[in-house]
Structure 1
């Protein structure tokens, strides 16, 4: 049984993980950390990591970057691995994460979906082949009308993954309205759509001469991200210190 400490337990993703763990059979949430007390949970909820009395096997973090240092300090002091699902981390935050990973295993991903991370493997291979054939690469992402950031962290993850295998030569273009010139050869166009209750829709378009390849992922509920986080928590058991990603999980 994997004993989980859940940061952000009273948020939407925290409640999804809580629900899935009840039926999983291999995981158990033994404590939560959240400033909100709007839900009643079957486990104790604390407003600080250093008030936790229980001993967990892993921390799953689906909260904001606020409080990141406290969580990493607790992780280092207790030797507890971390599944880091928070987005919007600053360069300073990333430095703290990298430093902490020298002592404990930390798995960080902008998107915990097993489907998205399989998609990343596919587009990296496609980008290596098709960029040589003169294909242009565009990314279109769609989300609900309450999402604050654009483009999404996942869209940037897709772009970064392809740029990594292409030698970092590509620029990102987010808006063409003020640019009166032809599309560059070494660029990713990234477009964001916001509307309704769209959970998450990401499409990578490889547009060549007389042919187009589209690789697309559609999320129909937030449960897929919770499922990925639980899978990652199981994966991290017994791993040594270091920085891991979901790509390590799906190998």
Structure 2
């Protein structure tokens, strides 16, 4: 039986991916964790949408928590995550950066204070190989803004054409792709004669890896349920 002094053993679903390598490097810096692919206390999945069903099934069979950092998930994947959360603790995070989690909280507060009279636009910049747009993080920030307005997210994505009119209450999204950018996110609040811009810049994947370890510390020992990075920073 584990004691509190023993490291939390993580099994990486995609150990040879970019995030897999980053998490291994973060674990090497932190003696509270260890990588154990065969006897894990927790699964960490930063793989692909296609791999998610297998990852969730494995977590349920082993009765261990799972951190899902995969982005580009559809409604079916979301339902599968919700179903898995009835059996084990699941933390879903489109972005595991603690800074982004705090940004999301600030965006929600700003939207609540500024009200519907301010337009909101979300811009994300990522490397040329990123397969989904808007980014999962951009959508999380848009959802935070909508929560602040006590509304459902109504997105205007990738505007193009002529004679366009911005829909009242909509939140706009623009996605830029190129180079090796790890991830830049700006949330613009555009009001009468003034603008507020809340921003985050990712300089390395290590911020996501260290944030994943913070999420794993939070998730370890939690009962079945669905958690987010908002829960992680709230418990800090």
| TM-score, normalised by the number of residues in structure 1 | 0.87
Matching residue of 1:223: 206
1:166 pairs with 2:172: no
Number of residues of Structure 1 aligned to a counterpart in Structure 2: 228
Task: Report how far residue 170 of structure 1 moved.
Answer: 5.0
Matching residue of 2:20: 14
Structure 1 residue corresponding to 2:138, chosen from 155, 158, 167: 155
Per mean C-alpha deviation after superposition, the further-off stretch among 109-118 and 123-132 is: 123-132
1:106 pairs with 2:73: no
Do the aligned partners of residues 5 and 117 (structure 1) sit closer, same or farther apart at CA in structure 2, a change above 3 Å counting?
A: same
- Flag structure 1 segments of 5+ consecutive residues without an equivalent: 32-53
- Flag structure 2 segments of 5+ consecutive residues without an equivalent: 1-6
Matching residue of 2:9: 3
C-alpha distance in 1, partners of 2:186/2:218? 28
Task: Report how far residue 86 of structure 1 moved.
Answer: 0.9
1:74 pairs with 2:58: yes
Q: Deviations over 1:66-100 (max 9, x none)?
A: 23222222211211100011112222222221111
Q: What SS is found at the alignment partner of 1:145?
A: coil
C-alpha distance in 2, partners of 1:205/1:69? 36
C-alpha distance in 2, partners of 1:155/1:179? 25
Q: Is the 8 A contact 2:45 2:70 kept in 1?
A: yes
| TM-score, normalised by the number of residues in structure 2 | 0.92
1:189 pairs with 2:195: no
Q: Deviations over 1:10-57 (max 9, x none)?
A: 0000000011101211000011xxxxxxxxxxxxxxxxxxxxxx3211
1:2-151 matches, within 5 Å, as 2-31=8-37, 54-132=38-116, 134-151=117-134
Matching residue of 2:3: none
Q: Is the 8 A contact 1:205 1:214 kept in 2?
A: yes
Task: Report how far residue 196 of structure 1 moved.
Answer: 1.6
